[in-house]
Amino acid sequence: MPRLECVPNVSEGRRPEVIARLAEAAASAPGARLLDLSSDPDHNRSVLTLAGDPEGLHRSLLALYEAALAGIDLTRHAGVHPRVGAVDVVPFVPLGETPMSEAVAAAERLGAEVARRFGLPVYLYERAARRPERALLADVRRGGFEGFAAKLQDPAWAPDFGPERVHPTAGVTVIGARFFLVAFNAVLDTEDLAAARAIARRVRESGGGLPAVRALGVRLASRGLAQVSMNLVDYRRTPILQALRRVEEEAAALETRVMETELIGLVPAEAVRGVTAEELKLVGGLPILEERLK
């Protein structure tokens, strides 16, 4: 069993040749395996799932940063997903009996080296956060790439590592350690963005909805449909099927329905135990983490 999983999110989901170079870089280091790659043109984002030992992942991620800085220019990037960096967020997740402290140590080591080698401002989040106001990714990312220079005018937002200025094309990067996150999107049978946003407000925890659920309503221009994009940050508090049922209820109240869903990246078997792909309206099968680790 590898000791850590890492799920870097990069701000490129439309250019196959660039995505291929990013994946090749991430898979280049001994001691790290690329288990999954998911790209979306509307979000303009790719999510890679890696697993390995801390040293192998460290080398793999440095190669990924190098490829991303060479191939991604955020001044020319647009997508429906919030982002502050070319390599937007890099969470480490402990596997098996690995303690969370090892994931935190990996995040801190990577952050220091990314700042030194690439001149990127680095923010630590979730369990690696050094300040409580940086624990939530949404708080760090508020304002986006375009608004981050103004954010840095406040001394409270000085980075944990690196220069106190936004990299002109690569922005900043957010690195951390956390529990498993289930990225789960529900595609609606409507192009009405207002409906998707209303459903997201009612479903997410911050709006009085489901515990440990974060949600956004976005429009998928390539499909002419709207989507409720969710992060289930603790599937033990809100199981995935419960999240879907709540979205379906809210959609029905607005006279629409969930056509299909998608899981971005891999999910631990425990998160979908007793649930079928058909029940979840998934396109394709269940992408189980443990099956890819065999």
Query: For the segment 27-52, what is each residue's pLDDT rounded down to a tens digit?
Result: 999 999 999 999 999 999 999 999 99
pLDDT of amino acid 1: 79
Q: Which residue has the tokens 């396109």?
A: 283
Superfamily of domain 4-177: Formiminotransferase, N-terminal subdomain (3.30.990.10)
Amino acid identity for residue 246 in this structure: R
Q: How confident is the model at residue 61 (pLDDT cuts 50, 70, 90)?
A: very high
pLDDT of amino acid 284: 84
pLDDT of amino acid 179: 98
Is 91 in contact with 183 (CB distance < 8 Å)?
no
Element (H, E) at 112: helix 100-118
Q: How confident is the model at residue 283 (pLDDT cuts 50, 70, 90)?
A: confident
On average, the pLDDT of the chain sits at 97
pLDDT at 140 over 90: yes
Q: How confident is the model at residue 175 (pLDDT cuts 50, 70, 90)?
A: very high
CA 229, CA 154: separation in Å to the nearest integer? 31
Is 192 in contact with 258 (CB distance < 8 Å)?
no
Maximum distance among all Cα pairs of the chain, rounded to whole angstroms: 53
Mean pLDDT is lowest, of 91-95, 190-194, 218-222, 283-287, for 283-287
Could you state, in order of their start, the residue ranges of all structural domains in the chain? Answer: 4-177, 182-293
The topology under which CATH files domain 182-293 is: Alpha-Beta Plaits (3.30.70)
Q: What confidence tens digit (pLDDT) does each residue in 118-127 have?
A: 999 999 999 9
CA 275, CA 292: separation in Å to the nearest integer? 19
Q: Which residue has the tokens 């899981």?
A: 263
Positions marked active-site: 81
Whole-angstrom CA distances from 147 to 12, 84, 153 are: 19, 9, 11
Q: 117: how many CB neighbours lie within 10 A of its CB?
A: 12
pLDDT of amino acid 245: 98
Token digits for 123?
């923010």
Q: Which residue has the tokens 């998160």?
A: 271
Whether pTM exceeds 0.85: yes
The alpha carbon of 189 is separated from its chain's Cα centroid by a whole number of angstroms, namely 25
Interaxial angle between packed helices 240-253 and 193-203, expressed in degrees from 0 to 180 and rounded to the nearest 10: 130
What percent of the chain stands above pLDDT 90?
Answer: 98
Residues 176, 177, 183: CA angle, nearest 5 degrees:
90
